[in-house]
Amino acid sequence: MKQLDEFENKDLASITAKGKTLLVFTATWCGDCRFIKPQMPAIDAEYPDLNFIEVDRDLYMELAQELHIMGIPSFVAYEDGKEVGRFVNGDRKTKQEIESFINNLAFAN
């Protein structure tokens, strides 16, 4: 999974412009984020056509606020620049819940 800070241009529109992208909002201090982190490589591998990008909420607070990310971990999916779904709340998330969310996204292709 790529980190948002790896991108030269951190503009959301350019990062999500092409293909399928899943922003994964986390923070180093977040217990629920640490709970799911070991499962994320397997989830990432399961969906090779989906570009996973980890966003440290504390480093990108303006983006989190813009997208109304209040609880973490949270997930926001895009296809060709358009938001197609979000799994945003303050609850602990399981691997099965994240996979179910991804499987039910309204991707066009």
CATH of the domain at 23: 3.40.30.10
Per-residue pLDDT of the chain (109 residues; tens, 9 = 90+): 898 888 877 788 889 999 999 999 999 999 999 999 999 999 999 999 999 999 999 999 999 999 999 889 999 999 999 999 999 887 889 999 999 999 999 787 6
Whether 108 maps to a domain, the answer reads no
Q: What are phi and psi of 21, to 5 degrees?
A: -130, 140
Tokens found for residue 8 = 């030269």
Whether 109 maps to a domain, the answer reads no
pLDDT value, residue 91: 82
Whether 71 maps to a domain, the answer reads yes
Q: How many CB atoms sit inside 10 A of residue 96's CB? A: 9
3-state secondary structure of 2: strand
3-state secondary structure of 58: coil
Whether 70 maps to a domain, the answer reads yes
The number of domains in the chain is 1
Its domain, for residue 86, covers 2-103
Whether 39 maps to a domain, the answer reads yes
| Active site residue ranges | 30, 33
pLDDT value, residue 109: 62
